[in-house]
Amino acid sequence: MDLRLRDAVVLVTGASRGLGAAIALRLAAEGAHVVGAARSKDALDELAERGDGRITAVEADMRDEDAVAGLADEVVARHGRIDALLNNAGVAPAGRFADQDPAVWKETMAVNVIAPMLLARAAGRHMIAQGGGRIVNVASTTGVRGKPHLVAYSTSKGAVVRFTEALAAEWAAKNVQVNCLAPGAFRTDAQRAVLESPDLLRRRVARIPAGRIADPAELVPLACLLLSPLSSFTTGATFVVDGGESGKL
């Protein structure tokens, strides 16, 4: 299927590894011009080398509001437009809620909620001016159903889901579609502790009806579809991709 992404300009945050890197590479393979943003310059440069000249690396810290707010303008300055935005960067601090420093909450909200808001606002202004665009926010299954020892993360991702729905309703008439992905357990650095422990992995997999941890490539097609013009009547939706875990009673 032709996703009509050739020469589309897409900004991907958290692009240096995991889900963000996998999506960025597929977008490039589809012919898009990808601007990949993350803190890890070395990993971004490696990603750009794999992108056949279609991935531009931009070092950016999602905790820096001024830098985040200027990313969309930088993309437009480079490419003349911005067609799609993938808000993928995030942090997931684990710990007992009663013992967690409020500073952890402030950083979690800064990266997981404030940064996507700033990026969506800046990118959306360009999209509206050019006649439309697409925004995909990456939440988590913990944003749909809260998880113990990930209270700050669950709260932030729940906010991302509500943000997606509200912004989609506000910008639908502007031809800007806003959707959300809620991944479950994927083979990324975020699951490293689980993947490296046979006992933790066994217990984690036991909660997933599909009986396994997913590969990042299994999220890529849906993400690219939502970032493409083919999703022009899909907005305000949250797509849970978790092997049936959230639906398990």
Each domain of the chain, given as residue ranges in start order, spans 9-183+219-239
Set 25, 153, 177, 228: catalytic member: 153
- 217 exposed, middle or buried (CB, 10 Å; 0-12, 13-18, 19+)? middle
User: What pLDDT, in 10s, does the model give residues 89-144?
Assistant: 999 999 999 999 999 999 999 999 999 999 999 999 999 999 999 999 999 999 99
Class of 9-183+219-239 in CATH: alpha beta
User: What pLDDT, in 10s, does the model give residues 157-177?
Assistant: 999 999 999 999 999 999 999
> Residue 191 catalytic?
no
Write the DSSP symbol of residue 214. B
* pTM for the predicted model, two decimal places: 0.96
**CB-CB contact of 128 with 170 (8 Å):** no
At position 134, the amino acid (one-letter code) is R
